[in-house]
Amino acid sequence: MNNLQHIWQRARRRRALIILLLGLPWALAAAVLALRLVGFDVACVVGTVGLLACAALATARARQLDRQWLQRQLDASGASEDSADLLFADASTLNPLQQRQRMHVLAQLERAMPELRPRWPRRALVLCWLAGLAIALLALGWPRSTPDGASTHGSAPGGTAVAGPLHLQSARLRIDAPAYTGQATLTQNALDAKVAADSRLSWSLRFDRAPDRAWLQFHDGRRLPLSEHEGQWQAQDVARTPVLYRVVSEPALAETRLHRLDVVADRAPSVRVLEPAASLVLGTPGQRQWSLRFEASDDYGVAAQATLSITTTQGSGENITFVKRSVSLAGSGEPTARRFTHTLDLAALGAQPGNDVIAQLEVRDNHAPTAQTGRSSSVILRLPSAEVALGAELEGRIKKTLPAYFRSQRQIIIDAEALIRQRRNLAAEDFVKRSDAIGVDQRILRLRYGQFLGEESEGAPKPPPTSDLPTSDAPAAGDHEDHDHEHGAEAGAHDDHGHGHGGKAANADTPPVFGSATDVLSEYGHTHDHAEAATLLDPQTRATLKAALDQMWSAEGELRQGRPEQALPFAYKALGFIKQVQQAERIYLARVGPELPPIDEGRRLGGDRTGLASRELPLTARTPPDPAIVEAWQRLGDDTGTPDLDALASWQQRNAAYLPDALDLAAAIEQLRIEPECADCRQRLRAQVWRALQRPLPQAMRRGAADAMGQRYLDALEAQP
């Protein structure tokens, strides 16, 4: 019975194959005719439909060879003795005689199985293939005809007929992405595409007749000529910047539309710290290991090898030494998201209590020819140091409690030099922002050292103005001007044993200044003397520190203006002065309280502003918008006015980096250039120009008029003496 089933299936497959071979030449002929008459796109559709029709017909004809057909074939061959129906009947329903006959027929079929497969229609196959190939060859070789008997490149002798506009029959765009992206070659019929940077583009266009010349016209004025090869007009280019383009020919095309080519730049890899969770980790006593985990991601893939930079610091303040090491790590996981894990041996690194261990991971992507790098944020492990017992002979000395991390002058110099080296890889705006951030760090450090000269913290409350201490022209505390406040220096030299407690009451309401040595002393220590911070230093050391602050001020000004090269000389001089201050021999505490000027109660809350200057900040003039753009927007709103599209296109190219979507504006300009009478195109361009205009500054809302109750209240205030 299994052998019979096998013979039956072979017969059905033979029938399906015969139908396919008979239909394929006609499908091929139809596709060639469509290619010749209409174009490549329609030919692909016709060929696909023809193949699907042949497959459907072959399947239907094969299913016609069902069980009834098999019974008829077996009975007609005589092998079943007209008992083929018993072979497919249920054996339990047959009587003993029918079962005996069924066994007899099966045994006879096993000995001699008849041939059930249809014969090959050789004659029909040969005729179909000859006819199909003949039609295809005639369609390909038949010469093209032109309207009114005119030739493609001219007119018949004695005639004046002119050929009509060209039509683009088919278009293909092949995109070969760079090898590092891992993308396969893509061929599409649409001329709009979004490709990776540095992709090789190949255009292949076919017209209904051969033009004199053709090219691709880009919106920035560049032309890419098309060359003819076997009826195909081809061109190649490398995608580097987003562009708009259209197909132009002579004679002109009947329909011209813009095509958009977006270029996606390869992003630099990004690195995320998974462990530890915080950037600053306080170690535990006796800690020997530190586990690190990073995750690096990239759009096309991260290199399998990465570099872990490890820096061990020793010392404190400006007396810090650095030991740098590098470790190569192997990543795991997908190329687009690799993970790097490493455990640091603190003993092997030579890290001691009181040291810092700083780690940063650097990865590279697969960009060719030059790989892009990405760095993680730095993570710091701070190992605790044993507390130093201070002598009890000198009262008032305590262990200073300072912020967990301050940038030192040396670190500011290192950051500025690193920023200068990265100038070529940064945009101008990002370069200025990072330089300004370093300038802010320089300002914080300057204010920190300024506390020892008696300078006030910026933003702290100021004493009320008196006749003895004018404040009208005094600059903000902590600025470049010298606010020495040397009121208690001489007193501390003559009275070494005075113990006064009057200073604390005078300053009870003044909030402590973050990082100030004097406020830390007053908050955490039992003080008998509350002198100005200027009395902490001897005159020579104080003058050296004042010179360091002057250099810090100059360095800060250059950094805040985005000029780190000019700031480095001042920063180096400030570092040298700070080194001299650290080597000073005499730093002593004064024994007297501050001598504040008396408060003039007569001027308090009196509104008398004599001697006070205006504190209004000068307003920076805003750059007005380009008059040409404003005029273009106004003319586009007037149906009769026509803007200068060439000037508008030039402005768009100059300011492409600052526009929300430069290609949308360029597309609107080119579309209006192609269709000058299109009202929708004018409105679309006007909307794009409006997006490019500067937004007006918000204005203060005028206060509403007072109601009856409010007016009575105001009148009552004015009526009071």
How many CA atoms are closer than 13 Å to the CA of 490, on its beta-carbon side?
4
401 pLDDT higher than 60 = no
Which residues, 6 or more positions from 223, have their beta carbon under 8 angstroms from its beta carbon? Answer: 215, 216, 217
**Residue of 244 and 165 predicted with greater confidence:** 244
385 pLDDT higher than 50 = yes
Residue 617 CB-density burial (10 A; 0-12 exposed, 13-18 middle, 19+ buried): exposed
Candidate ranges 437-451, 489-503, 684-698; pick with highest mean pLDDT: 437-451
- pLDDT at res. 460: 40
- pLDDT at res. 43: 83
- pLDDT at res. 374: 92
- pLDDT at res. 408: 82
3-state SS class at 201 = strand
* Inter-residue contact 145 to 166 (CB < 8 Å): no
Specify the residue for token string 């396919």: 20
State how far the Cα of 260 lies from the Cα of 667, in Å rounded to an integer.
8
- pLDDT at res. 77: 62
Tokens of 499: 């113990």
- pLDDT at res. 536: 52
- Mean pLDDT score, 666-675: 83
Q: If phi over 0 gives left and psi between -120 and 50 gives alpha, with beta otherwise, what is residue 611?
A: left
Indicate the pLDDT class of residue 661, thresholds 50, 70 and 90.
Answer: confident
* Inter-residue contact 355 to 370 (CB < 8 Å): no
185 pLDDT higher than 60 = yes
504 pLDDT higher than 50 = no
Mean of per-residue pLDDT scores for the chain? 75
Nearest C-alpha neighbor of 205 from the set 173, 158, 166: 173
The answer to which of 146-155, 201-210, 661-670 has the lowest mean pLDDT is 146-155
- pLDDT at res. 524: 39
pLDDT in tens, 318-341: 667 888 999 999 999 898 999 999
State how far the Cα of 545 lies from the Cα of 537, in Å rounded to an integer.
9
pLDDT in tens, 39-50: 777 888 888 888
- pLDDT at res. 104: 66
Indicate the pLDDT class of residue 704, thresholds 50, 70 and 90.
Answer: confident
> How many percent of the chain have pLDDT more than 90?
20
> How many percent of the chain have pLDDT more than 70?
70
Among positive and negative, which fits the CA dihedral 102, 103, 107, 108? negative
State the distance between the two ends of the chain, measured CA to CA, in whole angstroms. 125
- pLDDT at res. 537: 62
* Inter-residue contact 443 to 574 (CB < 8 Å): no
519 pLDDT higher than 50 = no
- pLDDT at res. 463: 41
- pLDDT at res. 358: 92
- Determine phi and psi for 402, rounding to 5 degrees: -110, 170
Nearest C-alpha neighbor of 311 from the set 335, 297, 327: 327
**Residue of 402 and 621 predicted with greater confidence:** 621
Helix, strand, coil proportions of the chain in percent (round to 5)? 40, 20, 40
- Mean pLDDT score, 373-384: 90
- Mean pLDDT score, 195-219: 90
297 pLDDT higher than 90 = yes
- pLDDT at res. 569: 92
Q: State the Cα torsion 610-616-617-619 to the nearest 10°.
A: -140
Which residues, 6 or more positions from 284, have their beta carbon under 8 angstroms from its beta carbon? Answer: 384
- Mean pLDDT score, 57-67: 81
State how far the Cα of 664 lies from the Cα of 680, in Å rounded to an integer.
15
500 pLDDT higher than 60 = no
- pLDDT at res. 673: 82
Supply the DSSP symbol for 350. Answer: T
- pLDDT at res. 589: 46
Contacts 24+ apart (CB under 8 A), 17-23: 17/58, 18/118, 18/120, 18/121, 18/125, 19/54, 19/57, 19/58, 19/61, 19/62, 20/54, 20/55, 20/58, 21/125, 21/128, 22/121, 22/124, 22/125, 22/128, 23/50, 23/53, 23/54, 23/57, 23/58
pTM comes to 0.46
3-state SS class at 312 = strand
- pLDDT at res. 87: 64
Which residues, 6 or more positions from 221, have their beta carbon under 8 angstroms from its beta carbon? Answer: none
